[in-house]
Structure 1
């Protein structure tokens, strides 16, 4: 008799890539303080012959029109082929809670939720490190390049620093609130990367390395002032900021409100602001709600870091 598997659902939180100071090397997972979902969920359950996929959620309308083009289905195909699994039938459900091309790690969230659910469903046949590498490869099919600063925090939680073959958790500051605002428009990650030069001046490379090293050191020593002083993007933001409607004005106003740092989440158009008190975070959120959102698809969330990464539960979405 074939082995019977139980349905499982995995939630993968949204993430901020780069976190200003760590282009392609630093990422953080987000958890709204109000308990709302800011991340995709994928269910895996026994199904009829072959693979099937059903999509739902507030951003389902922006997914590819053809199911065969959906990255969740691709994740299942690659996972099954890679492990040589015999699967009589599998039913997948994607609850799309993140806008595409938002800078919130939307494709990474889908990939992490899908592969996390598949791994849990089949009894954890892949190690954490191997699964993370596969997540990066599959997310790269969507973003146009393989990088782990979204998949690693979404999968593992907290703030993650990308090393050569693995991710290293970085201590965070417990009093920080991360206010994120998505204006409601889509910016292609691949196109935003194309805005950047292929090479940068040596002086910029040195500044980048020094700032990232200082931030890592300050995080480990819990030197808040030192970390905030270097939480700036000298690599990507100068080229991307002019192409994000309202970003420069919002950054200036948020700094005037007292936010200790403001940056672009991933490749945008979502921005993030670091606030050190809840009152400061709420004031920043109110301003962004009124002045940064461009349509009803936009969102503003006051967040902490999602320290645990994916959440696995029994049953279907």
Structure 2
């Protein structure tokens, strides 16, 4: 059995516009890496964190990676296990791309591999949700479930947890742009209203059903038509500079649908080819540059694999 392992876990686009807290999908890049080593001394230590500019806690009980791994070990009754963790952040923190999720998932996948896979990948989701609870105060699964399972995932129910892996078109590309502005996840969640009008709920239900149907039918036009949010996006988009202008630019460049990734500030579009996705990111970054906002972009097919062990 190995005593050291290196794991990559992918970024994710949560909500997919209309599916607040119940839909998400994984992408090939960016992502985070964890190097985990079995030690002779029981307990978890974080020996190294890179790429976080000193923002993440190294105390085991406060870091999402180590805290979720601790829950996992307690569940298995393996508290005698000793682990050393090195976390390498390869993606921006607070980007709306599931940064905490990617780290947590990489850690859980790593420890599960080191211990001989006592749990299935799907069974790791509740432990990853513990990490999300630590990161943003609420244990949602729309980042961690697709990061672990790959592809598109629907959370049909939280009580009990019921996860549905969804099909999707083979030639589906995500064009992602991260404007380098600060939109803390906790603040973005607090903006959401607690009560909604029935007519808005009906609109939202129709769009979620349409999006899921479009994925099953591999109908890009139906997917795009369904990517409309009347509940959350109108509030959250206020925090993102020139959001509506970027929507227009993305649509004009051939996007099937456009919206906020997670709580933002990253935005994403779905497209039917890599060439179209690249054109979308080019137009969005050009516009952000004109209004003096730095940005990063990523073009990726949907990641159907989830986490992977690296050499």
> TM-score by structure 2 length?
0.91
Moved more, 182-191 or 286-295: 286-295
Task: Say whether residues 1:39 and 2:5 are aligned partners.
Answer: no
Q: Deviations over 1:12-54 (max 9, x none)?
A: 100000001211111000114xxxxx11111221235342213
State the secondary structure of the residue aligned to 2:54.
Answer: helix
Residue 189 (1) aligns with residue 185 (2) = yes
Pair 15,81 (structure 1): closer, same or farther in 2 beyond 3 Å: same
Match of 2:232 in 1: 236
Match runs of 1:128-277 below 5 Å: 128-164=121-157, 165-277=161-273
Deviation at 1:67, TM superposition (A): 6.0
Structure-1 separation of matches of 2:175 and 2:48: 28
2:23 is aligned to 26
Judged with a 3 Å threshold, the aligned counterparts in structure 2 of structure 1 residues 309 and 207 are, in CA distance, closer, same or farther, namely same
What residue number does 1:301 align with? 298
CA contact (8 A) 2:173 2:301 kept: yes
Q: Write the distance in 2 (CA, Å) between the matches of 1:75 and 1:220.
A: 33
Unaligned 5+ residue runs, structure 2?
Answer: none
Separation in 2, partners of 1:67, 1:192: 27
Between stretches 216-225 and 201-210, larger displacement belongs to: 216-225
Aligned length: 305
Q: 2:32·2:90 contact (CA, 8 Å) conserved in 1?
A: yes
SS in 1 for 2:93: coil
3-state DSSP class of the match of 1:100? coil
8 Å Cα contact 2:223-2:257 kept in structure 1: no
Could you tell me which runs of 5 or more consecutive residues in structure 1 were left unpaired when the two chains were aligned: 33-37
Q: Deviations over 1:262-290 (max 9, x none)?
A: 10000100000122233322221212333
Picking from 69, 79, 94, the partner of 1:76 is: 69
Point out the more displaced range, 18-27 or 283-292: 283-292
The structure showing larger relative contact order (alpha-carbon pairs under 8 Å, at least 6 residues apart) is 1
Q: TM-score under structure 1 normalisation?
A: 0.89
